[in-house]
Amino acid sequence: MRITLSSQAVRRTALAGAAVALSVVVAGCGAGFDAQTTKPYQPAEGTNAESGAIVVRNLLVLADAEGKGKLQGTFVNNEQGDDSLVCIAATDAKPPADAAAAASPCPFQTYATAPFRFVNFKALDLKAGTAQNLPAPTGLPVTVEGGKPGQMLKVTLTFAKAGPISTSIPVLTTDHYSPSPAPEAEGEHG
């Protein structure tokens, strides 16, 4: 006995088949090695960077309109051994003229040698398997002079063991507001 389908049943079956085929195609667009869901997402305004097993998260400067601010961020050491952040300095800094200062792991920078500078910086111990926040709970915070809100500061982070990281960190207002770059700030430091 032959089974016949009404034209309405044929249309429903064809429509259901097309819907299944379309859903497979659409689902395939979000899969694979280059899918959007495999990309890192950074909901914070600070910079993220890595050097081997040393991970830097949400590094930024909170500053006032005069360019005085504090460095904020988290350093995570996923290594088996301890390390330390021995220097954070302006990438565009001129090398110091003094040979002893040039040999230092973190030469002192002035406004004559760098567009901005870090003050109160002391080596930051990064114990294995731990995270270290800035500002640290004890001691003086690392202050920044010369970085105004809206700028991106090109910096180099130097570690005792891990390789250096060169990156740009944003400068936000002290109330965590991210302003549009000021006309005089555009092109500076970034």
Q: How far apart are CA 162 and CA 101, in angstroms?
A: 22
Using DSSP, state whether 8 is helix, strand or coil.
Answer: helix
pLDDT confidence tier of residue 179, bands split at 50, 70 and 90 = low
- Could you tell me if residue 34 is inside a domain? yes
Which CATH number goes with the domain that contains 145? Answer: 2.60.40.1890
- Could you tell me if residue 183 is inside a domain? no
| Same domain assignment for residues 18 and 111 | no
Q: Does residue 106 contact residue 87 with C-beta atoms inside 8 Å? A: yes
Instruction: Tell me how many domains the chain contains.
Output: 2
Above pLDDT 70, what percent of the chain?
70
| Same domain assignment for residues 138 and 95 | yes
CA-derived radius of gyration, the chain = 26
| Same domain assignment for residues 30 and 54 | no
Mean pLDDT of 53-59: 94
- Could you tell me if residue 178 is inside a domain? no
Task: Identify the weakest region by mean pLDDT among 6-15, 29-38, 153-162.
Answer: 29-38
| Same domain assignment for residues 30 and 95 | no
| Same domain assignment for residues 96 and 30 | no
Look at residue 35 and tell me whether its pLDDT is greater than 90. no
Q: How far apart are CA 97 and CA 112, in angstroms?
A: 11
pLDDT of residue 163: 93
pLDDT confidence tier of residue 22, bands split at 50, 70 and 90 = confident
| Same domain assignment for residues 26 and 106 | no
Look at residue 186 and tell me whether its pLDDT is greater than 50. no
| Same domain assignment for residues 59 and 27 | no
Phi, psi of 100 (to 5 degrees): -65, -40
Mean pLDDT of 22-26: 72
Q: How far apart are CA 29 and CA 25, in angstroms?
A: 7
- Could you tell me if residue 185 is inside a domain? no
| Same domain assignment for residues 20 and 82 | no
Query: Which domain range does residue 154 map to?
Result: 47-173
- Could you tell me if residue 86 is inside a domain? yes
Look at residue 176 and tell me whether its pLDDT is greater than 60. yes
- Could you tell me if residue 60 is inside a domain? yes
pTM metric for this prediction: 0.67
Q: How far apart are CA 39 and CA 48, in angstroms?
A: 14
pLDDT of residue 40: 64
